[in-house]
């Protein structure tokens, strides 16, 4: 019985900060609930006479400690549930805020309706392999122009790409690159639209956090400082496994934009 008591205490000690960083809130809440049940079972067994292997004084002290641990566990469970609610509220609020950005952009002058990704059906009798090859060639040509610093040419090529291949596997990356090309040309208005479209169309893609970052920078350049800071914060709320370079860029940008 004494060995079991200390094994439960050890389990509580191991449920510390390092392990918590690798678990979801639901995992932690589940583990705390199990530990609470184990403590209740242990308390019931120790309350039975002649069953503990401890002196009366030691058993009473152990029961008091079990009650204290159980109270701490219940408080921790309450805090975790409150934190889960807060996280959901923050994500929901961020989702609504991202949706509102598109409306704000339409109120600013200089929007280009050709950047909305109008669908143009493919014509001809090309095979699927030929279409994929043509798609890749068009993508590589636009990317080459961007790498050479020709933002205007890259932007035009990427707009043409999206018109021809609006829903392909490269769309998320193309929207991001289009934003980069427009920024290179100083067109933050349409860059913001492109970044927003890239994120909204594929929020789970590898380029989604990069698009949000570009959107934040573009909004700041358009004088939307508050929205820019909120969008920047949204990246680390939505995505937990960010590239180290992006994390550093976010921190630098927060300072540059004087975000609270």
pLDDT bin (cut points 50, 70, 90) of residue 54 is: low
Question: pLDDT category, 32, cuts 50, 70, 90?
Answer: low
Tokens of 210: 């990069």
What tokens were used for 105?
A: 């952009």
Is residue 228 a contact partner of residue 188, using CB atoms and an 8 Å limit? no
User: pTM higher than 0.85 for the full model?
Assistant: no
Rounded to 10 degrees, what is the CA torsion of 113, 118, 122, 128?
110
Cα dihedral value 100, 103, 107, 110, nearest 10? 110
**Tens digit of pLDDT for each residue in 164-175?**
888 778 899 999
Furthest-apart CA atoms within the chain: distance in Å: 90
pLDDT of residue 35: 67
pLDDT for position 220: 94
* pLDDT score, position 58: 60
Residue 212 tokens read as 């949000």
pLDDT at 179: 95
Share of the chain above pLDDT 70, in %: 50
Residue 51 clears pLDDT 80, i.e. is over it: no
Mean per-residue pLDDT, 168-196: 92
| Lowest-pLDDT choice from 11-15, 68-72, 160-164, 215-219 | 11-15
Mean pLDDT (whole number) for 143-171: 89
**The total number of residues written for the chain in this structure:** 260
Task: Give the confidence band of 134 by pLDDT, cuts at 50, 70, 90.
Answer: confident
């Amino acid at each position: 019985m004494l060995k079991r008591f200390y094994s439960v205490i050890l389990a509580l000690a191991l449920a510390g900060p390092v392990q918590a960083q690798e678990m979801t809130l639901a995992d932690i809440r589940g583990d705390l609930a199990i530990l609470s049940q184990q403590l209740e079972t242990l308390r019931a067994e120790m309350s039975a006479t002649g069953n503990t292997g401890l002196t009366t004084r030691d058993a009473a002290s152990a029961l008091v400690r079990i009650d204290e641990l159980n109270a701490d566990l219940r408080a921790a469970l309450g805090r975790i549930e409150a934190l889960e609610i807060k996280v959901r509220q923050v994500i929901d609020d961020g989702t609504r805020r991202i949706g509102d950005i598109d409306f704000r952009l339409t109120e600013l002058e200089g929007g280009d309706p050709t950047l909305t990704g109008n669908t143009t059906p493919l014509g001809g009798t090309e095979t699927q392999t030929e279409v994929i090859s043509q798609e890749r060639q068009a993508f590589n040509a636009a990317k080459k122009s961007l790498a050479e610093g020709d933002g205007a040419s890259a932007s035009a090529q990427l707009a043409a790409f999206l018109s021809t291949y609006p829903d392909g596997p490269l769309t998320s990356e193309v929207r991001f690159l289009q934003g980069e090309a427009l920024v290179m040309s100083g067109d933050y208005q349409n860059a913001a639209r492109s970044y927003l479209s890239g994120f909204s169309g594929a929020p789970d893609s590898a380029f989604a956090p990069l698009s949000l970052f570009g959107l934040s920078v573009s909004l700041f350049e358009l004088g939307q400082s508050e929205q820019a800071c909120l969008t920047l914060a949204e990246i680390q709320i939505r995505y937990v496994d960010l590239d180290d370079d992006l994390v550093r860029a976010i921190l630098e940008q927060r300072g540059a934009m004087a975000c609270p």
